[in-house]
Amino acid sequence: MPFRRNLLLALLLSLTSGLRAEEAKTKPADTERLPPAASADDQESARKLFEDALDIEKNGDLKTAGSQFEAAAKLDPRNAAILNHLAWLLAVTAPEHLRNLDKALKYAEQAAKVSAWKDKDILDTLAEVHFRRKEYALAVEFGKKALEDGLTGKSKKKYLEEQLKKYVAAASAQAKAPMTPNK
């Protein structure tokens, strides 16, 4: 009997640790470290840079706007609005030759951390970045999360539902695509 109980206990432990490892891959850790808070002066400078960058972006100079957004993000690495806008610019708004999906992911994840993973707009950006990186399962995951009740952000439900449909369709097509061997 003790052998059987120990075997069951070992099996249960291995299953739950496997679940925890899988959960860690898809859920943010509670202990994620945030970057240090910016001084009041740096926050104000970042706000001004951000506002200038928005004007530059409206005038169509996306390369300069991107540089301004990055400078603002460096000054105030806890400003979720700056981080999110920069991520969207790098993944979506910028012309193809200026896009940088690795940087976009970095900034979107940082914005999500700063917002405690509870801002619909930021989760929408994170989903779109994963979509553009062809990481469709993650796009679906964050697209669903953006639709959860109780989250903050201005994104409209209908828009988020359309985005999620796009992600699900891409994930489904990817799952159905024949696998080709590496040569």
State the residue for tokens 């929408």.
124
Rounded alpha-carbon distances, angstroms, from residue 173 to 77, 126, 176:
37, 21, 5
* Sign of the Cα pseudo-torsion (94, 98, 102, 103, in order): negative
Strand partners, 119: 152
- Residue 102: inside a domain: yes
CATH number for position 114: 1.25.40.10
Distant-in-sequence, close-in-space partners of 168: CB < 8 Å, separation ≥ 6: 140, 143
- Residue 63: inside a domain: yes
- Residue 31: inside a domain: no
- Residue 6: inside a domain: no
Taking only the tens place, the pLDDT of each residue in 26-38 is 445 444 688 888 8
Q: How far apart are CA 35 and CA 60, in angstroms?
A: 31
Q: How far apart are CA 152 and CA 138, in angstroms?
A: 20
22 pLDDT more than 80: no
- Residue 154: inside a domain: yes
Taking only the tens place, the pLDDT of each residue in 57-114 is 999 999 999 999 999 999 999 999 999 999 999 999 999 999 999 999 999 999 999 9
- Residue 8: inside a domain: no
Taking only the tens place, the pLDDT of each residue in 126-166 is 999 999 999 999 999 999 999 987 787 777 889 999 999 99
Q: Tell which wins on pLDDT, 177 or 94.
A: 94
- Residue 14: inside a domain: no
* Sign of the Cα pseudo-torsion (18, 141, 172, 92, in order): negative
State which residues form the domain around 97.
Answer: 38-176
Q: How far apart are CA 88 and CA 108, in angstroms?
A: 8
Number of structural domains the chain divides into: 1
Rounded alpha-carbon distances, angstroms, from residue 106 to 9, 61, 101, 149, 161:
40, 23, 9, 26, 25
Determine the angle formed by the axes of helices 80-88 and 120-132, rounding to 10 degrees: 30
- Residue 141: inside a domain: yes
127: amino acid identity, one letter: A
